[in-house]
Amino acid sequence: MTGFGEAEQDSDLGRVRVEMRTVNHRYLNVQVRVPNGMDRLQNVLEARLRSRFARGHLTLRVSLDTSGADDPDAVPVDVERARGYRNALRRLQEELGVGGSVDVGLLAGFREVFRAPDPETAAADLDPELVLELTDQAADQVLEMREAEGARLARDLSGRLEAMEAELEAIEQRAPERLVEHRDRLRDSVRELLDGQAPVDEERIAREIAHLAERWDIHEEVVRFRSHLAMFRDTLESGSPDGVGKRFGFISQEILREVNTMGSKANDAQVAAHVVNLKGEVERLREQLENVE
């Protein structure tokens, strides 16, 4: 399931930002990207995400912007070096008899006075608890989006179940009719072959129809199919906090097994057409299940 979350906060070392994205994936795949110097947190963050997500491809990105740090000492000043420059300039004035004043503007021209902050060092000193807190905030947003998507998926899956039940009812209604029609065709064929020379052996025809009825019987498949649909619907309505995607996958596999068996016993164009429609609904169901955690 897809989702996006972000959280950021200012710290003494700079602005910390966490972004999280998730897309559909059959299993749980976590990628954590952190700035240099924060490598020690990579495994901790991955474990945190694995404790909150069961499926999906998750990408977590942590960044640290030191350009707007709140700490006035975020850009350290080398006071001793500045003092040395000042003393050296004054000595030059005395030795050479040069006028002018040594002020802060002049000293600021010496770039060595200001030491640019090392981003890697800043990242290494970042408070791990702050990163974990922002990660949790981003994860909360992702889960909220995924739950909203899950509600929409639940409605779609429920519609797929209703469509399958309609096809199954049509198959059940047609199943006994095909036997009656086959019996009548068989009787007419025998009567045509005998051409009035002998009476039709109704007992023989009855035995043949009984044999076909046993071969074409789909009662067990229909019962199991309805049981699987009920199990699927119960799982859909359970509101389980645990992942149900794998359970859905197993049930849909069993549903497809029963549909294939009914198809092999169809021996009728109308039943076969309903079985094809049923397979289409099952395939659409299984495709949608790829988005379910």
pLDDT of residue 220: 85
Helix (H, G, I), strand (E, B) or coil at 113: helix
pLDDT over 90, % of the chain: 29
Contacts of residue 12, Cβ cutoff 8 Å, sequence gap at least 6:
69, 70, 71, 74
Q: Is the separation of the CB atoms in 2 and 59 below 8 Å?
A: no
Contacts of residue 100, Cβ cutoff 8 Å, sequence gap at least 6:
93
Q: Is the separation of the CB atoms in 121 and 66 below 8 Å?
A: no
Backbone dihedral angles phi then psi of residue 242, each to the nearest 5 degrees: -80, 160
Q: What is the pLDDT of residues 121-156, one digit of tens each?
A: 556 777 889 899 999 999 999 999 988 888 888 889
| Whole-number average pLDDT of the chain | 81
Q: What is the pLDDT of residues 43-102, one digit of tens each?
A: 999 999 999 888 789 999 998 887 655 455 556 677 888 888 888 888 888 888 888 888
Q: Is the separation of the CB atoms in 163 and 283 below 8 Å?
A: no
What predicted TM-score, i.e. pTM, was given to this entire model? 0.58
Q: Mean of the pLDDT values across residues 197-216?
A: 65
Q: Is the separation of the CB atoms in 38 and 134 below 8 Å?
A: no
Q: Look-up: residue for tokens 């149900």?
A: 244
Q: How long is the chain? A: 293
pLDDT of residue 213: 62
Distance from C-alpha of 112 to C-alpha of 251, rounded to nearest angstrom: 69
Q: Mean of the pLDDT values across residues 239-255?
A: 80
Domain boundaries, the chain: 3-69+122-137, 77-113, 146-289
Other residues' Cβ atoms within 10 Å of the Cβ of residue 276:
13
Q: Does domain 3-69+122-137 have CATH number 3.30.1910?
A: no
